[in-house]
A and B are shown apart, each in its own frame.
Chain A
């Protein structure tokens, strides 16, 4: 049974407007972070697996594009799910207590919820990036340098990178 709130503010609508929809600047952050993360194993393949970047540019370009898209989607997915779960529980703690007057109570609660949503969004963004990156690096090292070690470097790079980004 939902708790009665101090105001008639539509929390679900507020969630849609502020919380669950990923801001455009957050998307830029996700894609930039995904590109940096996917680019790191390229150094290993260039040096250890003898797959020079410039002579294999098409392979690197295609694989990086697929992996960046998959990893950025993973960031967004984890972040939005965790945000929705947290904001639902944390939003119950906000009340009009501390407002100057009853007239300012609605604005007071709205501002508090906006601040809470922003804080929760930053927290879940950080967690999502850390979580997905950890899985990505773990899977790519296992696949490329343990299970696919005897395969051709082309196969090793493509399969390990795309699989790691898809799992993350």
Chain B
């Protein structure tokens, strides 16, 4: 009885799997996965930050009329430097991918949570559009420009001032010692 029940469930599972698996005559519908992330490793306020949106079609057929909408980066906090945050593609082939990049500049420093980008596309055989959203890089810290400069600058001016100050504490005793070395020999003043 137990073996009969096990056999029954195995057959039932096989039938369900076969029902869900695509047949050779029916390719899988297009399925888009979208990644939105920063190309700039360490975003800094008042410096250009590169954004990239990668769209992967992991389905079995082409995705058509693909549109990208990214209404992130409000003008009060960001300045659009290069490129636009929206784009259209006629086709994204099956198992293919496309990238879209643009550049923004932050006007503030601190933590920012980027919004997800919205993508619409058409599937063959369907009347309407399919909507998907991208991933998000999560909370991003925009470092202040002053801290970035302090961390990465060569500080030539500061080292120059340090050199002059240290020279003062070295030059004076050196001059005194040199005077005695040049004008005296074994404690007796040299005759000119």
A50–B177 CB distance below 8 A: no
Bound CA–CA A116/B147 (angstroms): 57
Interface range, A side: 20 to 34
Residue among A40, A116, A122 making CB contact with B162, cutoff 8 Å: A40
Dominant SS at the B interface? helix
Judge whether A44 is part of the interface by a CB distance below 8 angstroms. yes
Judge whether B187 is part of the interface by a CB distance below 8 angstroms. yes
B162–A41 CB distance below 8 A: yes
Interface range, B side: 20 to 34
Residue among A44, A93, A126, A130 making CB contact with B187, cutoff 8 Å: A93
Q: Known contacts A33-B169, A130-B177; is A93 also within 8 Å of B184 by CB?
A: no
Bound CA–CA A48/B156 (angstroms): 10
Further pairs besides A36-B169, A40-B166, A130-B174: 18, Cβ < 8 Å: A33-B169, A40-B162, A40-B165, A44-B158, A47-B155, A47-B158, A48-B159, A50-B150, A86-B187, A93-B186, A93-B187, A119-B184, A123-B177, A129-B173, A130-B177, A133-B173, A137-B166, A137-B170
Residues of chain A at the chain B interface (Cβ within 8 Å): 33, 36-37, 40-41, 43-44, 47-48, 50, 86, 89-90, 93, 116, 119-120, 122-123, 125-127, 129-130, 133-134, 137
